[in-house]
Amino acid sequence: MFNNDTIAAISTSYGSGGIGIVRISGEKAFEIAERIFKGKKSIRQVKSHTIHYGKIVDPQDGSIIDEVLLTKMDGPSTFTRENIIEINCHGGIIVLKKVLELVIREGARLAEPGEFTKRAFLNGRIDLTQAEAVIDIINAKTARSSKVALEQLEGKLSVKIKAARDKLVGLIAHIEATLDYPEEDIDKITEMQIYNSLEEIRNMLSDLLSGFDKGKIIKEGIKAVIIGRPNVGKSSLLNQLTGYSRAIVTDIPGTTRDIIEEYINIQGIPVRVIDTAGIRETGDIVEKIGVEKTKKAIESADLIIMMIDAVDGFTQADANVLRFIKGKKIIVLLNKIDLVENEGDTSKFHELKGINELKSIQELEGITIIKTSMKDGRGINDLEKEISRLFIGGEIDTDIEGLMTNVRHASLVEKALNSINDAIIAYHEGMPMDCIVIDIRNAAQYLGEITGETVSDEILNHIFSRFCIGK
């Protein structure tokens, strides 16, 4: 499925750093390294999986390009199951490019995006779900999303998918044996046995699919938009959540003119927090643009954090904003509660303008209201717990073994489930076995596409095109 040539690429990030790595994989990897590396021993003499000091030298003119550490790894005990050389250079981009250009001139070609991982898949070291987990590890935004991706790289999701597919393949074989050799003395399968097996497989796949929403959130995170009237503390909330002064905070309404975005980790969930311009009627052209951007951000938000000034109470302007965001997941923060309490009468909070109306809306819509103070950080922990509850049920240390996070995987599991449901319907309608087995084959085909057992070249190329060059 691929040309068995030798590929090379820079496997570390571009830019200045302590170390940069040029990776070579393929039949000519050792031969190329032999020509350009000068150390105490030749590449032929050194043992596999050992590191050696030396210099990269241009064989044409004898010029030294860099002082390096070279790692030799004999296939198949490597990531790609091919011979691999890794040259640890100094981390300057000019040096790395010179070494890579020399390697290519000596017989390698530049690797395509994700080609090292693709070879690991094609050579049978990992399946397709494990290959996709590599890019998920690279792109992980939190420790939990990294852990989920690592679980997939170790094959824990693959085990569950393969278990279901093996049962389907075994069922197909049993049905076909019954149909093709009716006169033979074999253990023939009955329609009831087929039905029971399909129910078992359906339950296995349903359990997998039920965890997808949680897995997708852990992997991709959520988009949370902070809204409210001007000067209610939106930028202060962003600064509290990020832990540093990300947004400018003043007492002047309309300070935030544009949206400000920041990724943060809330109890293992990657959250893209967006601080927006205050929603109000304004004659300022720049502020008007900011308000329009706020409205667009709200449309695509997974969560709305609406802030209300406890001193002013729940105003008509707040009620208008709340109507605008109806249908979204909403958390209301009653901010500046410290200013109310500092006046010496904490009961005044219950008499604030519009608070009863706000409470009635809370009861109707199921909206959570949290008392906060951006001055002393009060209520921030409650906010984080509520976000966790809304999106992953508040389970901070939930079991993530074999959790499905990939949209492609979920789509194929859903297709497999639909095929199994069609087979069960066919059973109830009294259809013959040779009709029922068609749907069972379709289900096995879909599950095979997840692990790569029945995947097309087009899908493979699409998956690996998302990888960086050098991985």
Instruction: Render pLDDT for 89-140 as a digit per residue (tens, 0 to 9).
Output: 998 899 999 999 999 999 999 999 999 999 999 999 999 999 999 988 888 8
Spell out the residues 6+ positions from residue 14 whose beta carbon is closer than 8 angstroms to its own.
93
What pLDDT is attached to residue 234?
A: 85
What pLDDT is attached to residue 359?
A: 62
pLDDT at 363 exceeding the cut of 80: no
Instruction: Report the percentage of the chain scoring pLDDT > 90.
Output: 44
Q: Are strands 17-25 and 7-10 parallel, antiparallel or unpaired?
A: antiparallel
Other CB atoms within 10 A of residue 53 CB:
11
φ/ψ of 256, rounded to 5, equals -80, 110
What pLDDT is attached to residue 89?
A: 95
For residues 262-266, average pLDDT = 85
**Per-residue pLDDT band at 390 (split at 50, 70, 90):** confident
- The residue type of 314 is F
For residues 156-182, average pLDDT = 90
pLDDT at 402 exceeding the cut of 70: yes
For residues 379-388, average pLDDT = 90
Mean pLDDT estimate for the chain: 84
Model-level pTM? 0.76
pLDDT at 170 exceeding the cut of 80: yes
- 289 by DSSP, 3-state: which? helix
**Per-residue pLDDT band at 166 (split at 50, 70, 90):** very high
What pLDDT is attached to residue 17?
A: 83
pLDDT digits (tens, 9 = 90+) for 291-338: 677 777 788 888 999 988 888 878 887 877 777 787 788 898 989 888
What pLDDT is attached to residue 365?
A: 66
Report d(CA 46, CA 85) in Å as an integer. Answer: 12
- DSSP classification of residue 340: H
**Which of 272, 248, 250, 271 shows the shortest CA–CA distance to 261?**
272
**Per-residue pLDDT band at 416 (split at 50, 70, 90):** very high
For residues 400-415, average pLDDT = 88
